[in-house]
Amino acid sequence: MSQQPTHSHKHDHGHAHEHAAIRGHAHGGSCCASDQPAPPATVRLSATASADARLSRFRIEQMDCPTEQTLIQNRLGKLAGVEALEFNLINRVLGVRHSLAADDVIIEAIAGLGMSAEPLDAQGQASPEAPAPVRKPWWPLALSGVAAVASEIAHFSGLAPSWLIAGLALLAIASGGLTTYKKGWIALKHRNLNINALMSIAVTGAVLIGQWPEAAMVMFLFTVAELIEARSLSRARNAIGGLLQLTPEQATVRQADGQWLELDARKIALDAVVRVRPGERIALDGEVVSGQSSVDQAAITGESLPVEKAVGDKLFAGTINQAGALEYRVTALASNSTLARIIHAVEQAQGARAPTQRFVDNFSRVYTPAVFALALAVAVLPPLFMAGAWFDWIYRALVLLVVACPCALVISTPVTIVSGLAAAARKGILIKGGVYLEGGHKLDFLALDKTGTLTHGKPVQTDFVPLDPAYAATAEQIAASLAARSDHPVSQAIARPALEAGEALLEVADFQALAGRGVSGSVNGQLYHLGNHRLVEELGLCSPQLEAQLDVLERQGKSVVLLLDASGPLAFFAVADTLKDSSREAIAQLHALGIKTLMLTGDNPHTASAIAAQVGIDQARGNLLPADKLQAIEELYAQGHRVGMVGDGINDAPALARAELGFAMAAAGTDTAIETADVALMDDDLRKIPTFVRLSRQTRSILMQNIVLALVIKAVFLAMTFAGVATMWMAVFADMGVSLLVVFNGLRLLRK
């Protein structure tokens, strides 16, 4: 609290650069090799960057899993001029950094993989002339089902001729499985054994050994399961995108002649004045210029209660005006509103693979070829060396191919992570990647800044004690003049009485901020210091009598700031900050979760202890400079703790960056906080941190459930396959059934 920088104590660009640099150093490595995410998932194809390289984005409807990513990466990697690829699988968006003359070359290359690439503009929107996605007709799948069932009935009845059974089976495969065959053939051409390739091989093998009805039923069941799975994935995909629908397309704007006109919100310029009636949604970010009302901000901050708004207060796009009419000045374009930035940040976070997801992807790359080799061995070795029947062992090999497909494993992690990110965003918690969502369950120690985090950050002056009463007025005026030059909350509290009274301030020359100690400057040619106890000691101007006076106030939990000249202290001011109502409850919830707490502040140790006692914090340290806060985090790491840090200012940047998880306070409307924090709390409510920890633990639990579920069920069916009990249609149920189970299990997070 006694740290007084010249810059804002909120997240600014200095914080951004420092945070990013330190965090990069602390974690290091690439997306695939460490916990450092690269949102979205970026693949570099060229070591050098071309000066004329540009980024083109495409929506590829067929790209929604690592299988398609691998195909695209291998295909575009052969094109000269393509330098890097950015994959956002959940939103089916591909970014290509290239120096090609036109995008047509990329579109044609992707078309060669059986996929369609739709160019997007800088805002991620498709061209108005682009054809709308064509919905597939339902009747081919229905025909496939009818033909497959008819083939099974004809086979079991024993009355139908074999040509009829085969004809019905071929009709079922052709009407329901041509897409699978096409994808499978493309994958095989590119030496990629994905689920479509495995299924195509299995169905073809069943046909070749005369298992017509089973081949037909396998293809039909697989197509149905794929359809259900796609619909389920769409729910996760749309969880964040649906937020865009919160902003109205039109807004009422004041014209130059004073008239009000309905305009497209995307075309409204900065500083335009917009009117919003009671009950309407706010179309753009802005600042109230007229009126008073209450606004439901749940979509942005997760607050359950409406927030009162008056002149000068911020408004966020997508929130709901409730009581009275408001007029506000637009402060951000539609494409750059807080809501738009939240959506963009979460979309980027989806591209950063969490540790579990990276493990699963790497596992499947080894697992799938191994399974194919095992199936080949099962088909060939027993008949050659164990006198086994070719038909039986080839059939078991085909069943093995279907059962062992890693589809459920691969798809379980991204669905769970995206559901967790979306659930957090709905609660006003912006998580910058799956690595942070999954890593939250490890936290066992949380360090917290005091001012603006545990307290409101708007302290008020409670005491003024002039050490020479004859110069009381002069000392107060000099102190206010120095304090007005700093925007630290303590300085503002000292300057506020003079500013509100309209008193004239003195001119300050050679103003200087002394990090963690105070400020200094010359007034009328005389150098003065305004700072904390640490500064007094550094200047060698402390005395036992002064110590005793300060001790009385500091034991009351107040921060003491002294005005000094070359001869010694002239006066001191006591400033007190008020605790947030939510702080005590948040600390209690953290303790209930088994997380210990430590307060790190620049305030004196007495104030730190008093505030810590009021809130229930385990440990408190005062008189800390930014480097001291960093050292405190390092000490906790050395003791084996997994540490998080909560802060709201540039003085917290080193500690925030070094902590395993950095939580930024007061992120609503602050660009840099959203850009740099691991987790940004969209309001000042600390209770969102225990909510985040619970969500992280739940996400981790579901991820483990999905992996165990997929592996155990596959192991059971593999054993049944070797025993000769499992059939091909049972194998489809085993594979796609598990896929659907893990998808639905992951989607549970959206209902919490």
> What residues act catalytically?
449
Distance from C-alpha of 622 to C-alpha of 534, rounded to nearest angstrom = 11
Q: Please, what's the largest Cα pairwise distance for the chain?
A: 118
Q: Which amino acid is at 168?
A: L
* Cα 357–chain centre separation: 15
Distance from C-alpha of 195 to C-alpha of 408, rounded to nearest angstrom = 10
DSSP string, 651-673: GGHHHHHHSSEEEESS-TT-HHH
Pairing of β 250-254 and β 326-330? unpaired
Respond yes or no on whether the N-terminal peptide bond of residue 459 is cis (omega within 30° of 0).
Answer: no
Distance from C-alpha of 349 to C-alpha of 368, rounded to nearest angstrom = 27
Burial of 599 (0-12, 13-18, 19+ CB in 10 A): buried
Query: 291: part of which helix (H) or strand (E)?
Result: strand 286-291
Provide long-range contacts, Cβ within 8 A and 24+ apart, for 532-537. Answer: 532/2, 532/559, 532/560, 532/561, 532/562, 532/602, 532/603, 532/604, 532/623, 533/2, 533/560, 533/562, 533/604, 533/623, 534/2, 534/623, 535/562, 535/564, 536/562, 536/564, 536/569
Residue 32 structure tokens: 């695939």
How big is the chain, counted in residues? Answer: 752
* Cα 605–chain centre separation: 36
* Cα 204–chain centre separation: 43
Residue 600 has phi, psi (to 5 degrees) of -120, 120
